Amino acid sequence: MTFNAEEAHNIVKDCIEKILSKADYSHDKVNQWTAAIVEQCLTHLVKLGKTYKYIVTCAVMQKSGAGLHTASSCFWDTTTDGTCTVRWENRTMNCVVNVFAIAIIL
Amino acid sequence: VDELQSGEETSFVVDEVSNIIKEAVESAIVGNAYQHSKVNQWTTNVVEQTLSQLTKLGKPFTYIMTCVIMQKNGAGLHRASSCFWDSSSDGNCTVRWENKTMYCIVSAFGLPI
């Protein structure tokens, strides 16, 4: 069993677009958006019915010229576990979503 | 019976991990100002150092570390995470650090094998 990164990538991209595509960065709404993005991505991933544990993280940043760097490092079973990162942006904000999937060994 | 009483912990200990993260952040970036050319190296150093200290603990865990460094210039940044796992054994820990020129957010997730 290996992690299908492409499938996860499509799921995440759809979730982000549904929530952010027509919006401009708004301090009041961002909390709501990041929570909705991670919850929806998680729900769709779980619906795939595979025996995986998932961790989904999302960062939304206002575009203002600041630099942002993210890194991640994982200590796991490289044959069964996997990750997928989706970067998205519009005129006023950047969004980075990471999905980490760890196989459940029964 | 002896094995059950060996005392090996298989749950995620937040304080221990939080200290490890703080030490890694301090040794990698304390005293530095945000520099575009060095940030890549810093984020990598923080995650790799934390990961190697965590694995040295010798616990049978799968670990995931993420690190975000952002320059301070007034922009807003929001981070969220959601996990589908076994809440009795799996755990996470997030450490936020800042200085005059940048923010650093490090998250660690641990899942026993």
Find the CB nearest A54 among B66, B68, B83: B83
Q: pTM of this prediction?
A: 0.83
Size of interface A-B (CB pairs under 8 A): 144
Determine contact, residues A32/A38, Cβ cutoff 8 Å.
no
The pair of structure tokens assigned to B48 is 């790799």
Find the CB nearest A25 among B42, B72, B76: B76
Find chain B residues with C-beta within 8 A of A76's C-beta: 62-64
DSSP type of residue A89: E
The answer for B7, left when phi > 0, alpha when psi is -120 to 50, beta otherwise, is left
Residue spans of alpha helices (H) in A1-106: 5-20, 27-47
Find the CB nearest A73 among B48, B70, B77: B48
* Chain position carrying tokens 């760097």: A69
β-sheet bridge partners, residue A85: A98
* The amino acid at A11: I
Determine contact, residues A53/B101, Cβ cutoff 8 Å.
no
Residues B1-13, mean pLDDT to the nearest whole number:
57
**Minimal CA–CA distance to B77: which of A39, A30, A57?**
A30
Q: Is it the case that residue B4 has pLDDT exceeding 80? A: no
H or E segment and range at residue B40: helix B36-56
pLDDT tens column, A77-106 = 889 999 999 999 999 999 999 999 999 887
Q: Is it the case that residue B87 has pLDDT exceeding 60? A: yes
What is d(CA B21, CA B53) in angstroms, rounded to the nearest whole number? 9
Q: Is it the case that residue B18 has pLDDT exceeding 90? A: yes
Q: What are phi and psi of B105, to 5 degrees?
A: -125, 120
Pairing of strands A52-62, B77-84: antiparallel
H or E segment and range at residue B111: strand B102-112
How far away is chain B from the Cα of A33, in angstroms, using its nearest Cα?
9
What is d(CA A59, CA A80) in angstroms, rounded to the nearest whole number? 26
Determine contact, residues B64/B108, Cβ cutoff 8 Å.
yes
Q: Is the ipTM of this complex over 0.85?
A: no
Hey, which residues 57-76 in chain B have their CB within 8 Å of chain A?
A: 61-76
How far away is chain B from the Cα of A88, in angstroms, using its nearest Cα?
15
Residue B100, helix vs strand vs coil: coil
Query: pLDDT tier at A53 (50, 70, 90 boundaries)?
Result: very high
What is d(CA A37, CA A26) in angstroms, rounded to the nearest whole number? 15
